[in-house]
């Protein structure tokens, strides 16, 4: 799956627990009729992928949906979901991708087509 939008926030890398588990969050705002602020978590060595990105950039992030079950000490079962990123790439504006046609030269760059001789003006049809 993929999420596409503009980076709103890039969090700092956090180390959790005694085993050195690393995580880093990024928030992307989608560009649709009702924009959504999607928090995506990168973990372990994928945290470093976010170093090259900053708020305001348009990106596309490849994600996996993760779910887990947790049983409290009282025996109550709860379920948690997370969105985990594994790849991120910058999106270029449309103008930078070559979709804009080249500029038209000014009118004075063209020679006028009014230099016909008199006999060409009378009979310029091939029949």
Taking 70 as the pLDDT cut, the residues of the chain under it are 93-102, 104-105, 107-127
Please report the pLDDT score of residue 52 as a whole number.
93
Classified as helix, coil or strand, 97 is helix
Largest CA distance in the chain: 105
78 pairs with which residues across the strands? 70
Please report the pLDDT score of residue 51 as a whole number.
95
Q: What is the rounded distance in angstroms from the CA atom of residue 27 to the CA atom of residue 1? A: 16
Q: What is the rounded distance in angstroms from the CA atom of residue 125 to the CA atom of residue 99? A: 40
Walk me through the domains of the chain, giving residue ranges and CATH numbers: 2-92 (2.40.50.140)
Please report the pLDDT score of residue 100 as a whole number.
59
Q: What is the pTM of this model?
A: 0.68
Q: Tokens standing for 29?
A: 């705002």
């Amino acid at each position: 799956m993929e999420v596409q939008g503009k980076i709103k926030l890039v969090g700092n890398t956090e180390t959790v627990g005694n085993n050195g588990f690393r995580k880093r969050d990024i928030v992307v705002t989608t560009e649709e009729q009702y924009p959504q602020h999607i928090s995506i978590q990168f973990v372990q060595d994928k945290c470093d992928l976010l170093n090259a990105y900053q708020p305001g950039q348009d990106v596309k992030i490849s994600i996996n949906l993760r779910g887990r079950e947790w049983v409290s000490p009282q025996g109550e079962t709860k379920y948690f979901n997370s969105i985990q990123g594994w790849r991120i790439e910058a999106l270029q504006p449309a103008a930078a991708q070559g979709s804009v046609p080249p500029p038209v030269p000014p009118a004075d760059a063209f020679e006028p087509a009014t230099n016909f001789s008199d006999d060409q003006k009378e009979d310029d049809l091939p029949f």
